[in-house]
Amino acid sequence: VIDESIRPDVRWVRHRSTLGPLPRWGLVLVVVLIGVLVGYRMFMDWVSDQMTPSDLPGVEVEFTIVEGWSTNDVVASLGDVDVIDNPAMFRQWMRCPMGVRWLID
């Protein structure tokens, strides 16, 4: 089927906008910046949720650290007795270098 509305003897001319591609790339930049800001905010909220206790303080728990335990052993035991909500995040906080501590504090 041949479309009769398109004739081969007609020269098609594309009219470019006077500003060129600036409006299009400006829109792309705005969309990317909004995406980065929303992603950053969501990540920071997630980190905050991991570091903030989910429950009110409960009853006191007696906890003994056995000589020879590593940091991993202590963190795992604290998680087992429900002293901390997220042992993995607490472990990262314990090992965190000062350059990244702003993220968690």
Report yes or no on 6 lying in a domain: no
> In the chain, pLDDT over 70 holds for what percent of residues?
82
Does any domain span residue 2? no
CA distance 56 to 17: 61
Instruction: Output the pTM of the full model.
Output: 0.52
Higher pLDDT: 72 or 57? It is 72
9 inside domain? no
- The answer to whether residue 46 is domain-embedded is yes
Measure the CA–CA gap between 2 and 75, rounded to whole angstroms: 74
pLDDT of 1 strictly over 70: no
Lookup result for tokens 């990262």: 92
Domain membership of residue 29 as a residue range: 22-104
Residue 94 lies in a domain: yes
**Cβ(76)–Cβ(88) under 8 Å?**
no
**Number of domains making up the chain:** 1
Whose tokens are 């969501």? That residue is 42
Please write the tens of the pLDDT for every residue from 14-64. 777 777 778 888 999 999 999 999 999 999 888 777 777 666 777 787 888
pLDDT of residue 38: 98
Say how far apart CA 74 and CA 90 lie, in whole Å. Answer: 11
| Structural domain includes residue 41 | yes
Q: Give the pLDDT confidence score for residue 104 in this predicted structure.
A: 58
User: Does residue 71 lie within any of the structural domains?
Assistant: yes
- How buried is 90 (Cβ within 10 angstroms: 0-12 exposed, 13-18 middle, 19+ buried)? buried
Cα maximum dimension of the chain: 91
Any domain includes 16: no
